[in-house]
Amino acid sequence: MDTAMLDIEASNLDANFGVVLSAAIKPYHRPVELFVNTEKWDDSKVVKKIANRINDFDVLVTFYGHKFDIPFFRARLLHADPNLVLKPTLHHIDMYYVARRALKLHSNSLETLTEFFNIKGKTKLKGEMWIRATAGDPIGMKYVVEHNKYDVIILEKLYDTLKDYVGMIRTI
Protein backbone atom coordinates (compact mmCIF):
# COMPACT_ATOMS: atom_id res chain seq x y z
CA MET A 1 0.00 0.00 0.00
CA ASP A 2 1.27 3.42 -0.95
CA THR A 3 1.35 5.50 2.25
CA ALA A 4 1.87 9.20 2.90
CA MET A 5 1.97 11.51 5.91
CA LEU A 6 -0.34 14.54 5.65
CA ASP A 7 -0.57 17.77 7.59
CA ILE A 8 -2.38 20.96 6.70
CA GLU A 9 -2.02 24.44 8.13
CA ALA A 10 -4.99 26.76 7.98
CA SER A 11 -5.85 30.36 8.74
CA ASN A 12 -8.65 29.30 11.12
CA LEU A 13 -9.82 26.15 12.86
CA ASP A 14 -13.17 26.26 11.04
CA ALA A 15 -13.35 25.81 7.27
CA ASN A 16 -16.12 28.35 6.73
CA PHE A 17 -13.98 31.04 8.37
CA GLY A 18 -10.54 30.02 7.08
CA VAL A 19 -8.52 28.75 4.16
CA VAL A 20 -5.72 26.25 3.69
CA LEU A 21 -2.42 28.09 4.02
CA SER A 22 -0.27 25.09 3.17
CA ALA A 23 -0.19 21.33 3.11
CA ALA A 24 2.72 18.96 3.47
CA ILE A 25 2.57 15.48 2.05
CA LYS A 26 5.42 13.11 2.78
CA PRO A 27 5.26 9.88 0.84
CA TYR A 28 6.54 7.18 3.18
CA HIS A 29 10.37 7.38 3.39
CA ARG A 30 10.50 9.86 0.50
CA PRO A 31 10.95 13.64 0.38
CA VAL A 32 8.32 16.10 1.58
CA GLU A 33 6.06 17.70 -1.03
CA LEU A 34 4.80 21.18 -0.11
CA PHE A 35 1.65 22.84 -1.40
CA VAL A 36 1.51 26.56 -0.61
CA ASN A 37 -1.51 28.79 -1.08
CA THR A 38 -0.36 31.90 -2.94
CA GLU A 39 -3.84 33.42 -3.36
CA LYS A 40 -4.28 34.61 0.25
CA TRP A 41 -8.11 34.58 0.40
CA ASP A 42 -8.84 31.85 -2.16
CA ASP A 43 -7.47 28.35 -1.58
CA SER A 44 -9.39 26.60 -4.39
CA LYS A 45 -6.39 26.10 -6.70
CA VAL A 46 -4.11 24.67 -4.02
CA VAL A 47 -6.89 22.54 -2.53
CA LYS A 48 -7.53 20.89 -5.92
CA LYS A 49 -3.81 20.16 -6.33
CA ILE A 50 -3.63 18.67 -2.82
CA ALA A 51 -6.70 16.49 -3.44
CA ASN A 52 -5.28 15.14 -6.69
CA ARG A 53 -2.05 14.24 -4.93
CA ILE A 54 -3.79 12.69 -1.91
CA ASN A 55 -5.81 10.48 -4.24
CA ASP A 56 -2.54 8.92 -5.48
CA PHE A 57 -2.17 7.14 -2.13
CA ASP A 58 -3.86 4.18 -0.48
CA VAL A 59 -3.18 5.24 3.13
CA LEU A 60 -2.89 8.66 4.76
CA VAL A 61 -1.26 9.09 8.15
CA THR A 62 -2.16 12.21 10.13
CA PHE A 63 -1.97 13.51 13.67
CA TYR A 64 -5.41 14.54 14.91
CA GLY A 65 -6.45 14.49 11.28
CA HIS A 66 -9.70 12.67 12.04
CA LYS A 67 -10.97 15.75 13.89
CA PHE A 68 -9.16 18.56 12.05
CA ASP A 69 -7.15 18.02 8.86
CA ILE A 70 -9.55 15.71 7.01
CA PRO A 71 -12.87 17.45 7.82
CA PHE A 72 -11.36 20.91 7.30
CA PHE A 73 -9.81 19.86 4.01
CA ARG A 74 -12.97 18.05 2.86
CA ALA A 75 -15.03 21.21 3.52
CA ARG A 76 -12.58 23.41 1.60
CA LEU A 77 -12.49 20.88 -1.25
CA LEU A 78 -16.29 20.75 -1.52
CA HIS A 79 -16.32 24.54 -1.49
CA ALA A 80 -13.73 24.66 -4.29
CA ASP A 81 -15.23 21.90 -6.45
CA PRO A 82 -18.14 19.71 -5.30
CA ASN A 83 -17.28 17.17 -8.02
CA LEU A 84 -13.73 16.55 -6.76
CA VAL A 85 -13.69 14.20 -3.78
CA LEU A 86 -11.19 12.16 -1.83
CA LYS A 87 -11.42 8.60 -3.07
CA PRO A 88 -13.66 6.49 -0.83
CA THR A 89 -11.11 3.66 -0.60
CA LEU A 90 -8.47 5.94 0.92
CA HIS A 91 -7.51 4.59 4.34
CA HIS A 92 -6.68 6.88 7.24
CA ILE A 93 -4.43 6.28 10.25
CA ASP A 94 -4.62 8.96 12.91
CA MET A 95 -1.59 8.66 15.15
CA TYR A 96 -3.25 10.72 17.88
CA TYR A 97 -5.74 7.91 18.45
CA VAL A 98 -3.08 5.22 18.08
CA ALA A 99 -1.04 6.87 20.85
CA ARG A 100 -4.09 7.49 23.01
CA ARG A 101 -5.13 3.85 22.77
CA ALA A 102 -1.65 2.28 23.08
CA LEU A 103 0.12 4.52 25.61
CA LYS A 104 -0.48 6.13 28.97
CA LEU A 105 1.18 9.54 28.96
CA HIS A 106 0.08 12.76 30.66
CA SER A 107 -0.89 14.14 27.25
CA ASN A 108 -1.30 12.77 23.75
CA SER A 109 -0.08 15.91 22.03
CA LEU A 110 2.44 15.63 19.23
CA GLU A 111 4.88 17.66 21.32
CA THR A 112 4.59 15.26 24.28
CA LEU A 113 4.99 12.19 22.07
CA THR A 114 8.01 13.54 20.24
CA GLU A 115 9.67 14.52 23.51
CA PHE A 116 8.92 11.10 25.02
CA PHE A 117 10.38 9.25 22.03
CA ASN A 118 13.25 11.75 21.57
CA ILE A 119 12.08 12.72 18.08
CA LYS A 120 13.68 16.04 17.20
CA GLY A 121 12.22 18.74 14.98
CA LYS A 122 8.93 19.85 16.54
CA THR A 123 8.56 23.60 16.09
CA LYS A 124 6.56 25.78 18.44
CA LEU A 125 3.18 27.16 17.45
CA LYS A 126 3.49 30.93 17.25
CA GLY A 127 0.09 32.54 16.81
CA GLU A 128 1.63 35.76 15.56
CA MET A 129 3.13 33.90 12.60
CA TRP A 130 -0.27 32.45 11.61
CA ILE A 131 -1.78 35.94 11.80
CA ARG A 132 1.03 37.30 9.66
CA ALA A 133 0.72 34.43 7.16
CA THR A 134 -3.04 34.96 6.90
CA ALA A 135 -2.40 38.64 6.17
CA GLY A 136 -0.02 37.71 3.35
CA ASP A 137 3.23 38.44 5.15
CA PRO A 138 6.05 36.39 3.55
CA ILE A 139 7.93 35.92 6.84
CA GLY A 140 4.82 34.55 8.55
CA MET A 141 4.05 32.31 5.58
CA LYS A 142 7.62 30.97 5.50
CA TYR A 143 7.34 30.08 9.21
CA VAL A 144 4.00 28.30 8.72
CA VAL A 145 5.29 26.31 5.72
CA GLU A 146 8.46 25.26 7.60
CA HIS A 147 6.36 24.24 10.60
CA ASN A 148 4.13 22.24 8.23
CA LYS A 149 7.15 20.52 6.66
CA TYR A 150 8.67 19.47 9.97
CA ASP A 151 5.34 18.20 11.28
CA VAL A 152 5.17 15.53 8.54
CA ILE A 153 8.84 14.64 9.04
CA ILE A 154 8.33 14.00 12.75
CA LEU A 155 4.96 12.35 12.06
CA GLU A 156 6.73 9.78 9.90
CA LYS A 157 9.18 9.07 12.74
CA LEU A 158 6.30 8.71 15.18
CA TYR A 159 4.55 6.38 12.74
CA ASP A 160 7.71 4.26 12.48
CA THR A 161 7.84 4.09 16.28
CA LEU A 162 4.18 3.15 16.80
CA LYS A 163 3.16 1.43 13.56
CA ASP A 164 2.95 -1.98 15.26
CA TYR A 165 0.16 -0.54 17.42
CA VAL A 166 -1.98 0.81 14.58
CA GLY A 167 -4.42 -2.11 14.57
CA MET A 168 -7.56 -1.49 12.57
CA ILE A 169 -7.42 1.28 10.00
CA ARG A 170 -10.46 3.06 8.65
CA THR A 171 -11.36 4.73 5.38
CA ILE A 172 -11.62 8.46 4.99
**How do beta strands 3-10 and 20-27 pair?**
antiparallel
Phi-psi region of 91 (alpha: psi -120 to 50; beta: other; left: phi over 0): beta
Model confidence, pTM? 0.94
Cβ-contact 139, 76 below 8 angstroms:
no
Cβ-contact 24, 34 below 8 angstroms:
yes
Catalogue all structural domains in the chain, each as residue range(s) with its CATH number.
3-171 (3.30.420.10)
Q: Which of the residues in the chain have pLDDT under 70?
A: 168-171
pLDDT at 41: 87
Burial label, 91 (beta-carbon count in 10 A; 0-12, 13-18, 19+): middle
pLDDT, tens digit (0-9, with 9 covering 90-100), for 30-53: 999 999 999 988 999 999 999 999
pLDDT at 121: 87
